[in-house]
Amino acid sequence: MLAPEDENHAIEALRFSLASDIVELLVLTADGAFLQTLREAVGPARRLWHVPTSDKVSDLLIAGGVGILVLDVQAVQEMGSRFISEIKRQFPDLVVVVAGTREAETALARLISEGTVYRFIHKPMSPARAKLFADAAVKKYEEQRKHHGTTSSVAPPFSVGLVVGILCAALCVILAGIWFLRRGESPDTEPAPGSPVAQRPDGQPDAQPAALPAEGSLLARAALALAANRLTTPAGDNALELYRKELALNPGDAAARAGVAEVHERLLSRAENALIEERLSEAAADIDTARTAGVDAARGALLAAELAKARERVKTAAAAKRVLTAALPADDHAAELKADQYAALAMQRIHEDHLIDPESDNARFYVEEALDAEPANAAALEAQQQLALALLAAHREADADAKKQLLKSAEERLHEDRLIEPENDSAKYHASAAPEASAARLDHDAALAQQAFLANVVSADHLDLVKSVQPVYPRMAEQSGVEGWVELDFTVGDSGEVKDASVHAADPPGVFDQAAVGALLQWHYRPVMREAKPVAQRARIRIRFALKR
């Protein structure tokens, strides 16, 4: 669902959607491919609102109901850290997921470690991977709602400036009151010996007004450790230990209890991140640390179960590799056999439509393994070509879906009488984008087809040679008694002519290259036939240069 550009319509539509418990996601991005991936990932089970610029984000969030913000750092560029901090300050319960490069992740490391950013997604990503992140964010949001004991309510549509002004004024009043109440007290956390303690009529100590922790106190040290992400280490100076010490002294201290809960949440989030990224050793260590720290037993057990599943997947993939290599003969045919077996697995994954997922058990992975084992292996090259064609078909299908969506959006804007305005969401905009997307896809398809053609290299021994010309032995090499060979890739055209010859390898390099290419371009083959038609075919040949004895 696209959020309308009309601000009032967007807010009213968002309010209407609150009638159900479906979790809302707001996506700030100008990357169409990233947005499409998210749409595929969340499916119809979530409402996904898209805004291409940051100026509408706050207004939609104030309208209420949005629990998750997915932010593409490209959309906010250098103001990313400041923008995220401000949004999180205004909406502390918002679950913020950020997407970008590893460089962007490094720039936002502080916000990630302190929990302001709940998850960071590396681009590009597959729909399956995006679904894992989306599900984790939804789970986090729902846990927050349960913790607060109620669903999010609809806030009145005040302006951002008014909300910020009210919050700042209230904070100033609270701090001023605290200063006056605490002005005459000692900065120590414990009262001085013999000092009077205020009491209620029942004789119990009166509740003291809330105060900021004194510098050097346990709470202050714990807060510093938490800000530095020293959750459980080093001993004696970590957030968990310091908060627990404070609770031992003051069991009812709300700040200490909240601190322990925050440490638990960060430990669990760290373990979940490691699981999603398939860093299983780190995930296991993080889960053990979280359990030792006393996190919620149910969540710890769930993470342990997910870890066991991930380990089983890795174990299955490793077993498949062992099967491939266990009985390989120790002779010159070992590499060929290994490449053939990997190529067979690649073809199986292509038929199962596992082209690039799951990791370490997909067609692309096995094609690369096969080519690593024997680069010129015929079965591996065939699998590589079939994979390229399958990816091409997948891209075409995705392009068709995207074109349908653009045309549907154009039709919707037409019915809404939004013919040319707004500029980036009108009937004209969506209708013109559809052919542009198709043209871009055609260029991409042509590139993929050319890549598939170049990758499908066969041995020249399998072709019918009609005419050959012996290469001229280089004079300097002949006088020096140098021998060697040149391996060349070339194209046999649909009429049998040789063209596009290039050196693939040579020994010694550069000595016989020119002579080999010059001779090969004069050769002629019988055209390769497919479906009763002559077609072009890439081939490889090794030409040897040996002196007469």
Kindly list the averaged pLDDT for each block of 10 residues, start to end, along the chain of length 549.
44 42 76 82 74 75 76 80 85 88 80 82 74 79 68 41 50 53 45 41 44 66 85 90 91 87 85 76 86 83 82 69 52 72 86 79 85 77 81 70 70 72 69 54 56 79 92 90 93 93 90 93 93 90 89
Residue 213: is the preceding peptide bond cis (ω within 30°)?
Answer: no
Q: At what angle do helices 280-292 and 297-326 cross, to 10 degrees?
A: 160
As given in the structure block, the two tokens for residue 484 are: 């060697």
> What is the predicted pLDDT for the residue at 15?
44
pLDDT of residue 291: 87
Which residue has 């729909």 as its token pair? 127
Task: Say which residues have a Cβ less than 8 Å from residue 188's Cβ, sequence separation at least 6.
Answer: 214
Give the CA dihedral 447, 448, 451, 456, nearest 10 degrees. -140
Can you give the length of the chain in residues?
549
Q: Residue 270 and residue 11: Cα distance in Å, rounded?
A: 35
- Chain centre to alpha carbon of residue 158: 35
Residue 453: predicted pLDDT: 74
- Mean pLDDT across the chain, nearest whole number? 75
Please list the alpha-helical segments (H only) found in 277-333.
280-292, 297-326
Contacts of 483 (CB under 8 A, 6+ apart): 477, 544, 545, 546, 547
> How far is 386 from 363, CA to CA, in rounded Å?
10
Regarding beta strands 24-28 and 47-51, do their DSSP bridges make them parallel or antiparallel, or are they unpaired? parallel
In angstroms, the Cα distances linking 138 to 69, 143, 255, 303, 476 are 11, 9, 27, 16, 73
Q: How far apart are CA 162 and CA 126, in angstroms?
A: 41
Q: For residue 341, give the amino acid letter.
A: Q
Residue type present at position 390: A
Alpha-carbon distance of 241 to 236, in angstroms, equals 7
The whole-number pLDDT of residue 319 equals 63
- Residue linked to tokens 């709602």: 145
As a whole number of angstroms, the distance between CA 426 and CA 406 comes to 11
**pTM tops 0.75:** no
Cα 510 to Cα 29, 482, 490, distances in angstroms = 50, 12, 18
Check residue 360 and give its pLDDT. Answer: 75
Q: What is the pLDDT of residue 400?
A: 67
Give the pLDDT score at 380: 81
Given this model, what pLDDT does residue 449 score?
66
Exposure string (b/e) for 492-503, b if CB count within 10 Å is 16 or more? bbeebebeebeb
In the chain, the domains with their CATH numbers are 7-148 (3.40.50.2300), 215-324 (no CATH), 327-455 (no CATH), 459-545 (3.30.2420.10)
Q: What residues have CB less than 8 Å from 115, skipping those under 6 apart?
A: 262, 265, 266, 269
Q: Is the dihedral of CA 177, 182, 188, 192 positive or negative?
A: negative
The pLDDT value recorded for residue 128 is 67
Cβ atoms within 10 A of the Cβ of 468, count?
14
- What pLDDT shows up at residue 519? 94
* C-alpha separations of 100 from 33, 48, 401 in Å: 13, 19, 25
